[in-house]
Structure 1
Amino acid sequence: MIHSLDPAPSAQAAMLDGATPLTQLGVIRVEGEDAAAFLHGQLTQDFSLLGLSEARLAAFCSAKGRMLASFVGFKRAHDDILLVCNRDLLAPTLKRLSMFVLRAKARLSDASENFQVFGLAGGGVPAALPTAVWSQWRDGQVSVVRLPAAPGAVRALWVAPVGAAAPTATALAEPLWQWLEVQSGVAMLSQPVVESFVPQMLNYESVGGVNFKKGCYPGQEVVARSQFRGTLKRRAYVVHAEGALVAGQDVFSEGDPDQPCGTVVEVAPHPVQGFDAIVSLQTSAAAAGGLRAGSVSGPHLTLLPLPYSLLEDI
């Protein structure tokens, strides 16, 4: 998906290649013989069967099924699991998760100062990394997780202890990484949109973020009911706007200016002009068009194709 504002393909390929430190991300470490079982009972994905060559996209939900945080989680060892999330959610998420440990043999800690996290794109992604999304490749203490691709660029998450040699790839501008995040259509939760969505409102069931066969977790009944009792009425979309957008901003439809029909979830400046974003919208409003950010006189939003199929459409 290279729309009219994008650079020529050859220039884009060179631009979207390399590595960048992701200082906006933090790390929760879960250690102990019950680490996987504990997370299995708290998050939307299956951690009991998580292997050392895999990773998981997962959400932590309230009892009402609303997302409190989202993670990329993977094992460094059978009793050592890392959860990578936005730093602005780490402290409250760690506090809330810790409340549920009770007698489980699991220790939770903020390990953000002990690990470095990089984003890899294009030629910066190791050739040895399996091609399956959410696979993990280990090189000593280094973990590399295959992320969903953005149109025009493969992507990966690189995590290693502080002191390990940083990736040797060329430097990738951090705003370009954020743009690739948006272009992938897979939103990671941040503070402005906490408790705004059940996972399906961000397409998590279609991108590997929800397992409907696992046991109970907070909000599980709401999440399951949203999936199996009627058509999903709100979905995530990728959009372009000429004006500035911010996470948490309301989206309005010109056909119904009195109440918002959606929310801006994640934003990045477009490499050439304007802004791209992931927005969660009522499906009826997306079909009707005439979308504006902030108010009915705000920036016009142009819907872009999603880079993946929705589960209900497969």
Structure 2
Amino acid sequence: MNSIWQQHLLNCGASIEANCVVNFGNPIKEMASLQSGAVLIDLSDFGLISFSGEDSQIFLQGQLTNDIRQVNSGKSQYSSYCTPKGRMLANFLIWQNDEHGYIMQLPVELQESIQKRLSMFVMRSKVKVTDISGLSIRLGIAGSNAKEILQNHYGNVPETPQEVIRIGDDTIINLPGNRFEIITIPENAANLWDALSKICTPVGSAAWEWYEIQAGIPRITTATQEQFVPQMVNYEVIGGVNFQKGCYPGQEIVARTQYLGKLKRRMYLAHLNTGAPAAGDDLFSPEMEGQASGMVVNVFPSPKGGYDLLAVIQISSAASETIHWKTLDGPALELQQLPYALP
């Protein structure tokens, strides 16, 4: 986290641990604010990797699950990076600008390893892979009136999910679930935060994950790397996989799963009333005879109590069985409706 930016957040009452805002001194009020009004979130727990150079589009086209040719200055894209066996190493948002080429945003905990792995395959291509996390400050604003607030502040706002607009030094991205991300330069960040925090409730960085959960957008972390092919986390449903593009690592497995195989597991939105679930926790159902029937992908405390989570679950179990956390005798999940339809 930028040291000047960190000091500003501390001056605003932030409690910061491991370069991540935990809260702003009133966790109960902050949790309640997730259900009403708009919240303001520092997104320093995401890193940015830049891919620049004349071969950057060709290079990324051969590495990612989505068609990078569809990304431009006005449109961002969800995409992912897989092993040769089609298992997801990371998923991310990617956009483009004139200064840095293609920009990949992913959790800080994965950034270094993914950047190093992708750099290994550049070889003689004219591509420069760079960590540019420190060159900007990322803010998230979410809630039912987030669009109105940004409209009033900027005079313009991206209208559709994944649309991108540039206003001065700021880039604004519309994201599913009444969310917007603002990428600004460090020199402007403090004034922008101060202006928006008069209207929005500042909350801890992890709250962004709750909005992602509600929107049905997975976030691969170290706990879940190499556990899922993209379709298991509904990635083709949210537009993160293109089946007409060329080859990439794992493409044969992903395509075979889509056209020839029968997908046995899908990601569901769920609630757990008790316990302390974590990403990577196993789930169980009677039909699997002691074998895990699923795994927690993402989890965050619910404003209503308990925990909201995204979980990959055996489709047959989700349709007819009770799903339990950690053991067959563990607390039961309450499956809920995703904001999009599954195939």
Instruction: Give the TM-score of the pair, scaled to structure 1.
Output: 0.89
The answer to whether 1:156 aligns with 2:180 is yes
Query: 2:39 aligns to what?
Result: 18
CA distance in 1, matches of 2:212, 2:85: 27
The answer to whether 1:252 aligns with 2:284 is yes
Query: 1:5 aligns to what?
Result: none
CA distance in 2, matches of 1:78, 1:176: 30
The one-letter code of the counterpart of 2:328 is V
Stretch moving more, 299-308 or 106-115: 106-115
The answer to whether 1:210 aligns with 2:212 is no
CA contact (8 A) 2:233 2:312 kept: yes
CA contact (8 A) 2:158 2:172 kept: no
Query: 1:116 aligns to what?
Result: 137
SS at match of 1:137: strand
SS at match of 1:27: strand
Displacement of 1:229 = 1.0
Deviations 1:243-302 (A, max 9, x none): 221000001013435110011000010012000000011101111231111111222101
1:55 to 73, 76, 98: 76
Query: 1:173 aligns to what?
Result: 203
Q: How does 1:27-106 map to 2 (within 5 A)?
A: 27-77=48-98, 80-106=101-127
Q: Decide whether aligned partners of structure 1 residues 106 and 164 sit closer, same or farther in structure 2, where only a CA change above 3 A counts.
A: farther
The one-letter code of the counterpart of 2:218 is A
Q: Decide whether aligned partners of structure 1 residues 12 and 295 sit closer, same or farther in structure 2, where only a CA change above 3 A counts.
A: same
Query: 1:4 aligns to what?
Result: none
CA contact (8 A) 1:255 1:290 kept: no
Stretch moving more, 181-190 or 132-141: 132-141
The answer to whether 1:262 aligns with 2:310 is no
Q: Which runs of no fewer than 5 residues in structure 1 stay unpaired?
A: 1-10
Deviations 1:54-112 (A, max 9, x none): 00100000100100011100002286121110111111100100011112211112222
Q: Decide whether aligned partners of structure 1 residues 162 and 79 sit closer, same or farther in structure 2, where only a CA change above 3 A counts.
A: closer
Q: Decide whether aligned partners of structure 1 residues 109 and 98 sit closer, same or farther in structure 2, where only a CA change above 3 A counts.
A: same
CA distance in 1, matches of 2:264, 2:289: 19
Q: Decide whether aligned partners of structure 1 residues 38 and 16 sit closer, same or farther in structure 2, where only a CA change above 3 A counts.
A: farther
CA distance in 2, matches of 1:176, 1:106: 35
CA distance in 1, matches of 2:138, 2:283: 32
Taking only aligned residues, the RMSD between alpha carbons, in angstroms, comes to 1.8
The one-letter code of the counterpart of 2:233 is L
Query: 1:302 aligns to what?
Result: 334
The one-letter code of the counterpart of 2:165 is W
> Identity of counterpart residues, as a percentage?
37
The answer to whether 1:129 aligns with 2:150 is no
Deviations 1:144-195 (A, max 9, x none): 211111xxxx112222232233343223423543221111111011110000
- Structure having the higher helix fraction is 2
CA distance in 2, matches of 1:58, 1:190: 15
CA contact (8 A) 2:55 2:127 kept: yes
Q: Decide whether aligned partners of structure 1 residues 209 and 74 sit closer, same or farther in structure 2, where only a CA change above 3 A counts.
A: same
Displacement of 1:118 = 1.6
CA distance in 1, matches of 2:35, 2:220: 29
CA distance in 1, matches of 2:279, 2:72: 34
The one-letter code of the counterpart of 1:190 is T
CA distance in 2, matches of 1:239, 1:13: 17
The answer to whether 1:288 aligns with 2:313 is no
Query: 2:16 aligns to what?
Result: none
SS at match of 1:183: helix
The one-letter code of the counterpart of 1:292 is H
Instruction: Give the TM-score of the pair, scaled to structure 2.
Output: 0.82
CA contact (8 A) 2:283 2:294 kept: yes
Displacement of 1:14 = 6.6
CA distance in 1, matches of 2:253, 2:99: 31
Deviations 1:2-25 (A, max 9, x none): xxxxxxxxx878735132102221
Query: 1:279 aligns to what?
Result: 311
